[in-house]
Amino acid sequence: MNETTNVILAGVGGQGVILASELLALAAVRVGHDTKQTEVHGIAQRGGSVHSHVRFGGTVYSPLIKPGEADVLIATEKLEALRFAHYVREGGVIVMNSYELPPIRQAQDRPIRQASRLRSGQAQGRPIGAGGHYPHEATDFLRSKGFCVIAFNATERAAALGNPRVSNVMLLGAASPYLSISEEIWKATLEERLPTRLLEINRRAFAEGRRVANDTKSGES
């Protein structure tokens, strides 16, 4: 196993980015991969930008992923998908929650950026419109750059299951068909990491995300 899989998970505090990255890392370890994980928190526990790098494969020396080298980006919100899109390799996968959560105070955020040069190993961002308006058009833009984009309202679907907070696990489920980890490993990982009272709804959320991704893949084939 010499090939390394690189995954970035991005969102804001309180959206479960760190839990999702822990689940991914645990699943990779369970497979037998050498696995490295790191995380960066924003200035606030809730509302600040949070992202995590997870790398797994034969031998992994560093947890950090360079721009243009991520195979998969999992973003809990459109703004974060655009913020980290330059990390994704050409033809890579972006799993994105289409639920919109505009920043409470634009001044707290870095300028909202579109990647105008999204090529492997090289990217340069430009602001989206004057004043940094919210990127409603993010899905079409990212697809126009050649990424495989799985975009759906995970928050709404999770709420329909009974708890919008499981949207993070739903997004992880949507990324799972692209990660070469079996369903049995994922099920065992959820059982290992999650408390019993939350296990069933997270199982359902993961399965729903996986179904959405597989339906999208079938539609594109």
49 pLDDT band, cuts 50/70/90, is confident
Q: In 3D, which of 80, 66, 73 has the Cα closest to residue 121?
A: 66
Q: Residue 48 and residue 45: Cα distance in Å, rounded?
A: 6
Whether 215 shows a pLDDT value over 50: the answer reads yes
What integer best gives the mean pLDDT of the chain?
85
CB 71 within 8 A of CB 176: no
Residue 38: beta bridge partners? Answer: 53
97, two tokens = 């929650």
3-class state of residue 152 by DSSP: strand
pLDDT one-digit tens code per residue, 19-28: 999 999 999 9
Angle of helix 167-175 relative to helix 196-220, nearest 10 degrees, comes to 40
Task: Name the packing angle between helices 167-175 and 154-161 (round to 10°).
Answer: 120
In the chain, where the domains are located? 5-99+129-152+175-193
Tell me if 33 sits within 8 A of 1, measured CB to CB: yes
Q: Does domain 5-99+129-152+175-193 have CATH number 3.40.920.10?
A: yes
* The dihedral formed by the CA atoms of 189, 190, 195 and 196, expressed in degrees to the nearest 10: -110
Identify the band that residue 114 occupies on the pLDDT scale cut at 50, 70 and 90.
Answer: very low
Q: Over pLDDT 90: what percentage of the chain?
A: 71
Strands, DSSP E only, in the chain?
5-12, 34-40, 49-57, 70-75, 88-97, 113-115, 125-127, 148-152
Which helix (H) or strand (E) element contains residue 153? none
Query: What's the rounded mean pLDDT across residues 199-213?
Result: 98
DSSP structure class, residue 52 = E
Count of CB atoms within 10 A of residue 80's CB? 26
